[in-house]
Structure 1
Amino acid sequence: MHNTALPDMSPDNGKQPLAFPAARMEMLAPFGLPDFQPGDDLAGAFIQVLSAQNMHLHEGDILVIAHKVVSKCEGAVADIEQVEPSEAALKLAAEVNKDPRKVEIILRESKQILRAVKRPGQPEGILIAEHRLGFICANAAVDQSNADNENQLIFLPQDPDASARSLCQALEAHFNCRLGVIISDTFGRPWRLGQTNVAVGIANVPALVTMYGDTDAWGRELKVTAPAFADELAGASGLLMSKAGKCPLIIFRGLCWQSDAHASAADLLRPSKEDLFK
């Protein structure tokens, strides 16, 4: 086991940044994790698989974990056959040609539905929702990919930040080192095609690295630069975390960062007052 030293790279203004440039980074993808069920010990399974493969977590490692395994272990799933749709769900489902039972779960997970859109030539329309945690996403993150069977719906954990903290604490205690944990989900992006992983739960890892007042390589002051550190890691995890690969855990090693005990995925949400497209 080794320590990752944090270099003294404080900017001229004396502010200690939460993340530093690194010349090299490793991404590790442990395989062999089981299919998880409600009540399973996720941290224990990670420890068992890592130990079996003679992989040890090191000081400063950051783990990105697909939310599906967290949700399954915590029971954030529903059997669509057991869902009774409300009148609101029946009406909205008819508008977008979706299963009203799935729409019922979407409504339960949402603060509000922002858009209900039919898509010409497609069997189903799309619902853009404000999730109860504030995320703006399709179907309030209710999904059936990587479900155990065709009737299972999977949604976000009740409190992904708390889930990340619990996993981080258990793994830190076992491996006796400082770690960071990010729980990820796959979102689309406004005005861009395709999907990428984003952070929906965070422990220790800085969500944003604000660089206001720093300077660029030419000495110009940075006024709005704030890299979304947690989202960048979540997005990069998708390079090794394939949908069919059954590899819900990616380990990042070699990055230099300062722990942020108060970090939350909510730190990445843009305030509604800054919405320029209302």
Structure 2
Amino acid sequence: MLTVTAPDGVPEVREGDDLAALLLPVVDLADGDIVVVTSKVVSKAEGRVVDGDREEWITAETVRSVARRGATRIVRNRLGLTMAAAGVDASNVARGAVVLLPLDPDASAARLRAAIAERTGRNVGVIVTDTAGRAWREGQTDIAVGAAGVVVLESFEGRLDEHGNELAVTAPAVADEIASVAELAQGKLGGRPFAVVRGRADLVLDPGDDGPGAGALIRPDGGDLFGYGAREAVLRALVRHPADAAPFGAPVTSDELVELLTWFGVDARAAGDVVRCAGDQPELIEILAFVHGWTVDPVPDGTDLRLSVVSP
């Protein structure tokens, strides 16, 4: 049976506060429990509340802009997370100040886990959460942005269902699922920054093993198929700045590139690890090559174009 408890009675968290000291008086922990804590109180305790303009802080926390519609900015932030406003939050904080995400949420989770173990002898997992939207779906849900001592991806690779079919979903993001169920108990306005999830001790790692952390849930740049918004992808392809190539993903094969060029009416042919094609549409060919991980090389005879895979 899975139970989730989000205790009342936690005071306002301020810089320098000891989160374990705030948590332990209001919970009764057991081995195998998973402690869930919001990133906001972690940030407050770690001094990540800053003064200044929210838009300027969003820019400062942004590594790459993914999409923008009006005032809404979806960005990839310094932690590798793709989320609205880079995770910069102006709620539940004094006017004129904003809360930034922890510098290293996995490390924050590990410190809290170690403090709990030292003071109680209990072996628990810890998950640090934040709220994020989802592509194609309205509303938001909580996700794991930091984790220690807990499995974040539960592997089902190679398992069969009762009919002998191999399971298609091989790695449920259990850390995100735990973050979401904890938020149901915590609520957004309940003043309950902690939750304890009990009933999945199988997900808690051995003492001293903090695991890969929530960072393991982040796909590498270019690995998520949606490196830019729909409009932004077109603009980036037209500009073709080398720094923008990675979010378009891994290069296609020479045969796949020939198929794409042919679909656009380009006379193209593969020759091993290069592609040669007629040079009468150079702009189009350069765009198609760029977004598929290839580049156009100069050819001395000036008639055909030679395309080769971009080196990693």
TM-score greater than 0.5 by the shorter chain: yes
Larger radius of gyration: 2
In structure 2, relative to structure 1, the CA distance for the partners of 1:156 and 1:277 (3 Å cut) is: closer
Deviation at 1:275, TM superposition (A): 3.0
Deviation at 1:223, TM superposition (A): 4.6
The residue number in structure 1 matching 2:17 is 40
Taking the TM superposition and a 5 Å limit, the aligned residue runs for 1:1-278 are: 24-47=1-24, 49-50=25-26, 55-80=27-52, 101-118=53-70, 125-147=71-93, 149-258=94-203, 259=205, 261-278=210-227
Contact 1:146 1:243 in 2 (8 A): no
Measure the CA separation in 2 of the matches of 1:218 and 1:256.
28
Instruction: Name the % identity.
Output: 41
- Residue by residue over 1:231-252, the C-alpha shift from the partner in whole angstroms, topping out at 9 and shown as x without a partner, is 0000111111112100010101
Q: Which runs of 5+ in 1 are unaligned?
A: 1-23, 81-100, 119-124
Deviation at 1:219, TM superposition (A): 2.3
Deviation at 1:134, TM superposition (A): 0.3
Classify the secondary structure of the residue corresponding to 1:240.
helix
- Give me the TM-score of the superposition, normalised by structure 2: 0.69
Kindly provide the amino acid, as one letter, of the partner of residue 60 in structure 2: R
Contact 1:213 1:223 in 2 (8 A): no
Measure the CA separation in 1 of the matches of 2:72 and 2:32.
40
- Give me the TM-score of the superposition, normalised by structure 1: 0.77
Which of the pair has the greater relative contact order for Cα pairs under 8 Å at 6+ separation?
1
Measure the CA separation in 1 of the matches of 2:224 and 2:145.
20
Contact 2:6 2:196 in 1 (8 A): yes
Classify the secondary structure of the residue corresponding to 2:21.
helix
Contact 1:76 1:155 in 2 (8 A): yes
Measure the CA separation in 1 of the matches of 2:72 and 2:55.
11
Deviation at 1:224, TM superposition (A): 4.1
Classify the secondary structure of the residue corresponding to 1:246.
coil
- Give the aligned length: 223
Measure the CA separation in 2 of the matches of 1:261 and 1:38.
25
Kindly provide the amino acid, as one letter, of the partner of residue 186 in structure 1: T
CA RMSD in angstroms comes to 1.4
Contact 1:62 1:252 in 2 (8 A): yes
In structure 2, relative to structure 1, the CA distance for the partners of 1:241 and 1:212 (3 Å cut) is: same
Contact 2:31 2:201 in 1 (8 A): no
- Residue by residue over 1:42-61, the C-alpha shift from the partner in whole angstroms, topping out at 9 and shown as x without a partner, is 111112x32xxxx4200100
Measure the CA separation in 2 of the matches of 1:276 and 1:201.
24
Measure the CA separation in 1 of the matches of 2:3 and 2:226.
39
Measure the CA separation in 2 of the matches of 1:171 and 1:216.
39
Measure the CA separation in 2 of the matches of 1:261 and 1:69.
21
Classify the secondary structure of the residue corresponding to 2:222.
helix
Measure the CA separation in 1 of the matches of 2:152 and 2:123.
17
